[in-house]
Structure 1
């Protein structure tokens, strides 16, 4: 896997988990956190660089060297601040990819502000890392706390690749709805082709299990 550089704004649970997952994958990650006490905690919990500052300020973002970053994830607990961080980041580095944590998806204009949106009640730091690195999960409809509608690609090495749906034991609480082109509903005879994408309804407590099934 190629090494990329990511900036994570917000050193709470989701931000820290995202940074740790990206670092474990071999990427270069910089955390930005505005709370001084939390910065001290992060210095013990996280081995990577941590910038103490308000990520909505251009001067702080420039300290993170956005021009050499592949993406920024704004993962504070305030939707407005996260959108502002992403907008400011695009002013500093126009080509940077942006991911914002949001508590609701009621306003469609988010799509015009950021490249992707994370709803952390059901998608945490591990999924944020996947979205940043361009992995095979995409959330299509932002869910209740119990249900996600997601799009997944079948990895070439996955055990489900090349098999009919009625031959696959999907976890209880998950349902394969259709191929990603949405031309037809999936049925028992649907074959899951390697590298193709599929839409699923998944209860939040089995999301990781379903993702792993499509990957390995």
Structure 2
């Protein structure tokens, strides 16, 4: 998933709202599908809302955009979440699907969804990671508005090949080290494409960090 990919969330309950808000706070376009009018009223604050039943193909089609890469089914019903993912795949086989599953034996659903998320044993950050894919991961034991990102440098990244001291980072950003590195990043160290780094960033500038490390979308 690139930084501008649209995220579609099915379910505007507590988990769905919190996940959607985290993406919206990063500047990521987000749409939430919610069938319950009361929940929908609460949901329609920080992101686009589509009212309706997400298991219906017409509702999913109405919420999809050309840049939608992932649909996350985060309702409190496991059967609904699986149905949403299966319908979405029928509409667009290239969509990445993430389903909220209550049963810890959820690995048996690997043939039907791309990734499962267990809210009882994982944080909201874990859900965001499941939706984001492998290029960017937020460490899950960090509190507050600070994000610790495990991020891979793209081959079109504007900071590729630059020394850390030469990069103009937004305020509130600090490269900590290479991922799995044993020493802190040094000012004269060059940024290498394809390599992963741990980066501390205040939540409001996470999108700027993604621009620097992965390149802005045209």
TM-score norm. by structure 2 comes to: 0.63
Q: CA deviation at 1:122?
A: 2.6
Partner of 1:100: 99
Cα distance in 1 for residues equivalent to 2:112 and 2:38: 31
> Where does the alignment leave 5 or more consecutive residues of structure 1 unmatched?
140-151, 165-193, 197-213
The structure-2 alpha-carbon separation of the partners of 1:138 and 1:56, relative to structure 1 and needing over 3 Å to count, comes to farther
Partner of 1:188: none
The alignment yields a C-alpha RMSD, in angstroms, of 2.8
The structure-2 alpha-carbon separation of the partners of 1:66 and 1:125, relative to structure 1 and needing over 3 Å to count, comes to farther
- Aligned pair count reads 157
Q: Which moved more, 1:152-161 or 1:79-88?
A: 152-161
Partner of 1:33: 34
- SS of the equivalent of 1:55 reads coil
Partner of 1:146: none
Matches within 5 A, 1:58-97: 58-65=57-64, 67-97=66-96
The structure-2 alpha-carbon separation of the partners of 1:127 and 1:107, relative to structure 1 and needing over 3 Å to count, comes to closer
Matches within 5 A, 1:115-130: 115-130=114-129
Partner of 1:158: 176
Matches within 5 A, 1:106-185: 106-134=105-133, 135-136=136-137, 157-159=175-177, 161=179, 162-163=181-182
Cα distance in 1 for residues equivalent to 2:113 and 2:84: 10
The structure-2 alpha-carbon separation of the partners of 1:94 and 1:109, relative to structure 1 and needing over 3 Å to count, comes to same
> Where does the alignment leave 5 or more consecutive residues of structure 2 unmatched?
141-148, 154-174, 184-194, 201-218
Are 2:178 and 2:196, in contact at CA under 8 Å, matched by a contact in 1? no
- SS of the equivalent of 2:119 reads coil
- SS of the equivalent of 1:99 reads strand
TM-score norm. by structure 1 comes to: 0.64
Are 1:30 and 1:51, in contact at CA under 8 Å, matched by a contact in 2? yes
- SS of the equivalent of 1:163 reads coil
Cα distance in 1 for residues equivalent to 2:36 and 2:6: 23
